[in-house]
């Protein structure tokens, strides 16, 4: 009867909807790095953060902040001022850019002293995760020498130091930094302006989730139309 057929179609619709959602989520999970905003940003599905695709944007756009060299190097204080200026400018449509974080302690590091984690293999930090986990970096080697296809999603990646937004707890005058020249993590004096650069990141994706749900809703609409014809 029609009622029985309707119940069967409802069950099938639920199964198809669940399958569609699973495929959607699985697709996102499989692609750890995804190009966004026409190649201006890169979304990391593992950490749910979005990187600037230009790893040395400060060399070409200071956002009016002084103290940045022509090659993009700056002090830690200037690096924070630079991301703040990005937010004031609502760069790429967002105002929550920041420097990457370096959680402490980090058991993945090969150097451990008390609650300080340093050295190689520090995948707990956002930059370490990018270097080792996403770009295929190898400890002791420049990212420009050992990398995978994900490297092509970025531009102007420097084989040198980048500031973390995390201060070094034992010495307030220092902050953590990470080297894309060899995969080494450690602290550095915040005022030292001619060694480190800034690579901005923001939380979440730059494509809102409702866009993905809209695609799912469209699929469910088609399934609903089919169900109506059967009843």
pLDDT in tens, 190-219: 998 888 999 999 999 998 555 444 454 544
Taking residue 17's Cβ as centre, other Cβ atoms within 10 Å add up to 15
Q: Is 35 within 8 Å of 117 (Cβ atoms)?
A: no
Is-contact 138 207, C-beta < 8 A? no
Torsion of CA 164, 165, 166, 170, to 10 degrees: 80
Question: Does pLDDT of 16 surpass 90?
Answer: no
Cα–Cα–Cα angle for 118, 120, 125, nearest 5°? 65
Which residues neighbour 50 within 8 Å (Cβ) at sequence distance 6 or greater?
Answer: 36, 41, 42, 43, 44, 201, 202, 203, 204, 205, 206
Cβ atoms 131, 183 nearer than 8 A: yes
Average of per-residue pLDDT across 32-58: 97
> pLDDT for 104-150, tens place per residue?
999 999 999 999 999 999 999 999 999 999 999 999 999 999 999 99
Question: Are 95 and 197 in contact, with CB atoms under 8 Å apart?
Answer: no
């Amino acid at each position: 009867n029609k009622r029985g057929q309707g119940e069967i179609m409802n069950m099938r619709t639920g199964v198809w909807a669940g399958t569609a959602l699973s495929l959607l989520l699985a697709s996102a999970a499989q692609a750890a790095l995804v190009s966004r905003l026409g190649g201006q940003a890169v979304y990391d599905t593992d950490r749910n953060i979005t990187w600037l695709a230009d790893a040395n944007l400060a060399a070409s756009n200071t956002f009016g902040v002084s103290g940045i060299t022509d090659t993009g190097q700056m002090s830690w204080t200037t690096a924070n001022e630079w991301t703040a200026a990005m937010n004031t400018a609502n760069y790429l449509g967002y105002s929550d850019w920041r420097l990457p974080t370096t959680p402490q302690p980090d058991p993945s590091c090969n150097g451990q002293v008390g609650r300080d984690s340093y050295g190689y293999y520090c995948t707990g930090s956002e930059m370490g995760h990018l270097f080792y986990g996403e770009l295929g970096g190898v400890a002791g080697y420049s990212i420009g020498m050992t990398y995978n296809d994900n490297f092509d999603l970025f531009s102007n990646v420097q084989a040198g130091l980048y500031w973390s937004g995390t201060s070094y707890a034992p010495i307030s005058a220092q902050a953590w930094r990470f080297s894309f020249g060899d995969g080494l993590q450690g602290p550095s004096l915040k005022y030292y302006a001619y060694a480190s650069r800034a690579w901005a990141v923001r939380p979440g994706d730059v494509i809102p989730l409702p866009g993905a749900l809209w695609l799912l809703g469209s699929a469910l609409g088609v399934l609903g139309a089919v169900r109506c014809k059967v009843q």
